[in-house]
Amino acid sequence: MKHLKSTPLQIRYLVVGIWNTIVGFGLFTLFILVLPPSKYLLAFALTVLFSGVNAYLTQRTYVWRSSANVKTEVSKFFTVFVGQSLANMILLYLIVEYLGLNPLWTQYVIAIALIITTYFSHKHWTFKVS
């Protein structure tokens, strides 16, 4: 990921976002396959726990290149991350339970839709890039 140093912000976000999405989808898929089908929300919660740390570290280091106070930044990052995760979990539950769609494919669509909102949240608040 050293190649990202001279790359524009949006491209760095996209590349790191793809990496983080692969990690998240990989973990979710693994948990979905290992746990009983009715435990898709547990699979999602476990994914959030592991992928959140990965997302913070890669975004801080490679996307935003932040040197701000870690305590303040971590609390902001996880406020956005938890908010996004709660919205994701609610949508996942509603779509799976009320529309009867597959949780794995539903999660893929929801995650992609939420990527855009988190970009702006992190850009204008968490890592505050002008």
On the question of pLDDT at 129 being above 80, the answer is no
| Average pLDDT rounded to a whole number, residues 42-67 | 93
Question: What are all long-range contacts of 112-118, with beta carbons under 8 Å and residues at least 24 apart?
Answer: 112/21, 114/84, 114/87, 114/88, 115/17, 115/21, 117/84, 118/80, 118/81, 118/84
| Average pLDDT rounded to a whole number, residues 3-29 | 87
**pLDDT by residue (tens digit) across 23-32?**
999 999 999 9
CB crowding 26-40: b at 16 or more within 10 Å, else e: ebbeebbeeeeeeeb
Whole-model pTM: value is 0.78
Categorise residue 24: left if φ over 0, alpha if ψ from -120 to 50, beta otherwise: alpha
Helices 40-58 and 103-121 meet at what angle, rounded to 10?
Answer: 30
91 — pLDDT class (breaks 50, 70, 90): very high
Expressed as residue numbers, the domain containing 31 is 2-126
Number of domains the chain is built from: 1
Contact assessment for residue 19 and residue 61, using Cβ atoms and an 8 Å cutoff: no
**pLDDT given at position 130:** 58
| Average pLDDT rounded to a whole number, residues 87-92 | 95
On the question of pLDDT at 5 being above 70, the answer is no
